[in-house]
Amino acid sequence: MTRRRDVLRSLAALLLAAACGRSAEPAGTSERTATAPRGGGGTKFASQTLLSDEILWDLGPQVRDRVVAVSSLADDPRYSLRPNLWPAEVPRIATGSEALVALEPDVVIVATFTAPEVRERLTHLGLELLVLPPMTGTAAYRRSVEAIAARAEAPEAGRELVARFETAFASHGRVRGIDPPSIVAYAAGVVAGSGTTFDEAARHTGWVNAAAAAAIAGHAKVDPERLLDWSPDAVVIPCGEDCGAAVAAFVALPGFDRLDAVRHDRVVAVPDPVLHATGFGLVDLAARLAAACDGIVPPGEVEAR
Amino acid sequence: MTGRRVAVASAVWLAAALAGLAVGPSRIRAMDALHALWSGPGADGLAAAVVWELRMPRVLVASLVGAALGAAGAVTQGLFRNPMAGPGVLGLGACAAFSATCAVALGLDAHGPMVVPAAAAAGVAVGLVLLLGVGRPGASPATLLLSGIALGAFASALSTLVLALSTEQWDLARKVLSWLMGSFESRSYDHVALAAGPVTAGIVLAWMLRGDLDVLTLGHEAALSLGVTPRRTGLFAVATVALLAGAATAVAGAIGFVGLVVPHLVRLRAGPRHGPLIVLSALWGAAGLVGVDAAARSLLAVSIPPGVATSLVGAPIFLWMLRRAARGWLA
Amino acid sequence: MSRLSFEEVTVEVPAAAGPRRLAAGLTVCCEPGTITCVVGPNGAGKSTLLRIAAGLGPPAAGTVRLDEAPVHTWPPRDRARALAYLPQRVPLTEDLTVRDLVALGRHPHRRWPLGTDPNGDEAVRRALRRAGIEHLAARGVFSLSGGEFQLARIARLLATQARILVLDEPTTALDPAHALAIADLLAALAHDGRALLVAIHDLELARRIASCVVCLGGPDAPAVHLGSPHEVLVPEVLDRVYGVRTRLWPDAIAFHPAGRSDGGAGPAAPVRE
């Protein structure tokens, strides 16, 4: 323990020495937080993924108080569904930065996609890593919640959160008879095939994911010709601030005016953070997909699963 | 002889273009595609959409880009009398990449598909002005070459700087990288229209420079005595290369190796005279790029950038050529 | 008929301590049918003088006139049709065929914008024939011997149909047979009515072909020795200019180190070829 303190102290000193160059995470922040850490006792968490930012908050005030850092993307509206969720005094820390170490967390929550050298270094510095599973859908979300809740010694809060999520998600479930409409998520040439969050949400709400039906697994770049081949009933595209402009830009792409989805005005623009949601945002995605599907298949045939 | 070579190259280009129109990732059959081609662009149906809306602009853009890079490579190698010179040595590609990076970093690419091409073209124009203006007025080809290399290094460093300073934008690096890799994806007739004028003008200019470039092979003094001013020729040649490479880079991003390898292969068969060299390099550049793109699209399940495909095909050919040349010199 | 006339021409080369004057007050006229040879030791300014004669730069003082106008003020293409210049031999970077190399001489005749040249093929054929290398027309220049390459370069000059030829050391680094062949060709070209200005190292060849000799350099520089071969290529001039002792034979010139007395026999025996 004392050795670790020494390591941390020398790191902090190094940070101070290099303070001028590091505007994003000034050494002053780490100094302050280090001397007056958030939360009284218990395990201190530093979250390095958007999903764990969200789960830690949703686990309730008991857990929230023990969070010493959230990810640097937490407030970015392009990626985060709930920007400015966390109070300003919780530092936003970029992956693997020295400032993170200076906050002296007990557990750092990272993802499988976190760079191996970053994970290696954090482990080397004596920090415990909690690695979230690949974010492929509701099952992964459930496992992530359970893992974090267990480590935070709040399994009850975890069970509650999972139950709340599953009820909400299930409420958008649809079955569309023998010939369900097809849909494709298309983001700058990349489609979401099987084993993606989109695929699960689409199937759950009664769609056929045309990309998965064409044996595409994961996110893959496809030629625009294949999209014309599939000619799905609807296309989902991501959008930033101006979703109308995103639809117009998609329709203007060469050849796409011949798509059934375009002809029938079924290009659904979904804000980036919703389309790429890995956590509770999946409910929002499912709601949008269900609503879009209700517009194609008459509501009379729709029956809740 | 030259006439026959031009006819062969044109036929190969035409065949590659037909192949590019007939086959692709779509499941429509090649015969249906050719029938749709025959029926004209107005027809209804999937085949017509695929052939006329997707494949035709793609083939035309690939042809224009290949022709531009081939001709630009022939002019560059002739001007600098350096077999390793390609259109890239003038640093104008790096200027295009820098201004495209800036456009993406500033979020201008959201304002329409032609913004980044326009920014890249503007970058080439500014780079050209810098190249000709910052160096001594009327600099010799050797000075131009060195200035170009310095300009390219500077612009590349600036691009990297922009990327490094924009760590907050996760997808900036992805967008810039996909632009740098070069692409014919989602190219429309707007891209064809943007490139057609400059590429045609550039090839005509290059062809008009052929005699001057031939005379430059005699050396500086002899060229002067034959009424060719190397500095003036250099100025025109650099402007021509900028026009050609700039238009190509603007519509398709960075595509390597075509400008370097194609003129060399043509030179091996058709000799060093610039008239045939420029025309044949343009034709073989177009044929090569269209052919490689069609082959990559129909043979591979994944979509790979044409810049990667050309380098994958071009680098081994180039190495084989170097081996052959070395053997020739040693013999 | 075209002529190239030097009027009080001064030749200078840039040096660290300001321009160095190599020749001054040179007044000579290259008439049709004559060969004017420029001789002198290395660094005497022969190449610089020829560059000026070819109109590639103005003289430091005086004027070189091509017909009436100073040669460096001629429009380059017009000048290139009237006067052809052969620089010292530089290796080619491209393996052109001999015919293509000779055809480069047609460049100033090509018309804008299509580069048409109705008489081009005929002029190239005649140039090849005049230089006696028709049989080499389809060969690549990289495969030629030094002498053949030099003939091809001279044919390139002839293809311009210029009446004034300026040649810088056309015989240097050639074996005696090829050097003689070139010299005979030059004499024949002058006999056709061209005016030739030739920088030459080989004084024997100069004496063989020159109508007029310009001798640069030596302790008299920037003054110039000028006159017929019999006036200039004599021991009195050559000893001073080259700093050696010279012996003259009917068809040979022999040199000995200046400090050494000439015993009459041994190494001094003149040998022809």
CA dihedral C60, C65, C71, C75 (to 10 degrees): 140
Residue A134 preceded by cis peptide, ω within 30 = no
For chain A, report the end-to-end CA distance as a whole number of angstroms: 54
Chain B residue whose CA is closest to A78: B169
CA distance C235 to chain B (A): 35
Of C152, C118, C117, give the one whose Cα is nearest residue C138: C152
Do A63 and A143 belong together in one domain? yes
> Which DSSP state fits A80?
-
CA distances from A262 to A10, A231, A249, A266 (A): 60, 10, 12, 6
Q: What percent of chain C has pLDDT over 90?
A: 60
Flag if B185 and A228 touch (Cβ within 8 Å).
Answer: no
B210, B221, B229, B264, best to mutate vs chain C, most C CBs in 10 Å: B221
Rounded to a whole number of angstroms, the distance from the CA of B25 to the nearest CA of chain A is 6
Q: C254 or C101: which carries more pLDDT confidence?
A: C101
The residue range of the domain holding A16 is 2-168
Task: State the Cα–Cα distance between residues A72 and B69, nearest whole angstrom.
Answer: 43
**Would you state the pLDDT for residue B328?**
42
- The strand pairing partners of A270, in sequence order, are A238
Which of the pair, A111 or B301, is modelled with greater confidence?
Answer: A111
ipTM: 0.87
State which amino acid sits at residue A234. A
Quick one: A186 and A141 in the same domain? no
C33 vs chain B: nearest CA distance in angstroms?
Answer: 22
- pLDDT higher for B319 or C251? B319
Residue A92 pairs in a beta bridge with: A70
* Cβ contact B230:B141 at 8 Å: yes
> Distance between CA B249 and CA B314 in Å, rounded?
18
Q: What is the pLDDT of residue C259?
A: 62
Does A16 score more than 60 pLDDT?
no
Positions of E strands within chain B: none
Q: Which of A189-193, B90-94, B245-249, C129-133 has the lowest mean pLDDT?
A: B90-94
pLDDT tens digits for B99-148? 988 988 888 877 777 888 888 888 888 888 888 776 655 567 778 888 88
What CATH class has C4-88+162-242? alpha beta
Which of A79, A222, A253 is opposite residue B303, by nearest beta carbon?
A222
Domain that holds residue B15: 2-326
Residue given tokens 């005030």 in the structure block: A61
Q: Which two tokens stand for residue A195?
A: 């084993």
Closest to B25 (Cβ–Cβ): which among A79, A223, A255?
A: A223
| Mean pLDDT in residue range A183-190 | 90
Greatest mean pLDDT among A178-182, B138-142, B238-242, C61-65 lies in C61-65
Q: Looking at residue A94, which CATH number applies to its domain?
A: 3.40.50.1980
The alpha-carbon gap from B199 to the nearest alpha carbon of chain A, in Å, equals 22
Q: How many domains does chain A have?
A: 2
Domain boundary among the residues A168, A188, A218 is at: A168
Chains C and B touch (3+ CB pairs under 8 A): yes
Last residue of a domain, one of A168, A195, A220: A168
Mind giving me the DSSP string for A137-203?
A: SHHHHHHHHHHHHHHTT-HHHHHHHHHHHHHHHHTT-EE--SS--EEEEEETTEEE-BTSHHHHHHH
Of A177 and B145, the one with more pLDDT: B145
Instruction: Please enumerate in sequence order all residues whose Cβ is within 8 A of that of B327, keeping only pairs 6 or more positions apart, or say none.
Output: none
For residue B303, give the nearest of A223, A255, A257 by CB distance. Answer: A223
> B184: Cβ–Cβ under 8 A, 6 or more apart, which residues?
B58, B61, B62, B65, B252, B293, B306
Q: Residue A4: what pLDDT?
A: 55
**pLDDT at residue number B128:** 82
Q: What is the mean pLDDT of residues B71-89?
A: 83
Structure tokens at A41: 């006792």
Residue B228 lies in a domain: yes
What's the structural domain count of chain B? 1
B331, part of any domain: no
Which has the closest alpha carbon to B75: B195, B233, B193, B231? Answer: B233
Q: Do B222 and C85 touch (CB under 8 A)?
A: yes
Domain boundary (A112, A146, A168) is at A168
What phi-psi label fits residue C40: left (phi over 0), alpha (psi between -120 and 50 degrees) or beta? left
Tell me the three state secondary structure of residue B324. Answer: helix
Whether A189 and A277 map to the same domain: the answer is yes
Closest to B216 measured CA to CA, from C94, C212, A128: C94
Of B54, B112, B167, the CB nearest to A224: B54
Q: By the 8 A CB rule, do C29 and C3 touch?
A: yes
Phi, psi of C215, rounded to the nearest 5 degrees: -110, 120
Mean pLDDT of chain C: 88
Tell whether A163 and A253 lie within a shared domain: no
Pick the residue from chain A with its C-alpha nearest to B43.
A258
Query: How many whole angstroms separate alpha carbon A165 and alpha carbon A283?
Result: 8
pLDDT for the residue numbered B92: 84
Specify the pLDDT at position B325. Answer: 65
Cβ B135 vs Cβ B143: under 8 Å: yes
Above 50 in pLDDT, residue A256? yes
At A285, list the tokens. 């995605």
Strand A128-132 versus strand A107-111 pairing type: parallel
The partner residues of A303 in beta bridges, in order of sequence, read: A175
> For residue range A75-99, what is the model confidence (pLDDT) as tens digits?
888 788 888 889 988 888 877 677 8
Q: Which of A116-130, A264-278, B8-22, B81-95 has the highest mean pLDDT?
A: B8-22
What's the rounded Cα separation, in Å, for the pair B90 and B76? 9
* Rounded Cα–Cα distance for residues C26 and C225 (Å): 9
Q: Is A226 on the interface with B (CB under 8 A)?
A: yes
B-proximal residues of A, 94-133, CB under 8 Å: 94
Chains contacting chain A through 3 or more C-beta pairs under 8 A: B
Distance CA C160, CA C105 (A): 5
Q: How many CB atoms are closer than 10 A to CB A142?
A: 16
- Paired sense of beta strands C4-13 and C244-249, if any: unpaired
State the pLDDT at residue B285: 95
> In angstroms, rounded to a whole number, what is the distance separating the alpha carbons of residues B28 and B50?
9
Q: What is the CATH number of the domain that holds B63?
A: 1.10.3470.10
- Tell which residue, C167, C157, C155, C153, has the closest CA to residue C30: C167
Under the banding of pLDDT at 50, 70 and 90, the label for residue C264 is: very low
pLDDT of C191 over the 80 cut: yes
pLDDT at B205 over 90: yes
Residue A304 burial (C-beta neighbours within 10 Å; 0-12, 13-18, 19+): exposed
Nearest Cβ partner for B49 among A76, A79, A228: A228
Based on the fold, state whether residues A240 and A133 are members of the same structural domain: no
Residue type, A22: R
Interatomic CA distance for residues B74 and B280, integer angstroms: 10
What percent of chain A has pLDDT above 70? 83
Angle between helices B274-299 and B306-330 (to 10 degrees): 130
Query: How wide is the angle at C-alpha A260 spanned by C-alphas A254 and A263, nearest 5°?
Result: 75
Please report the pLDDT score of residue A41 as a whole number.
Answer: 64
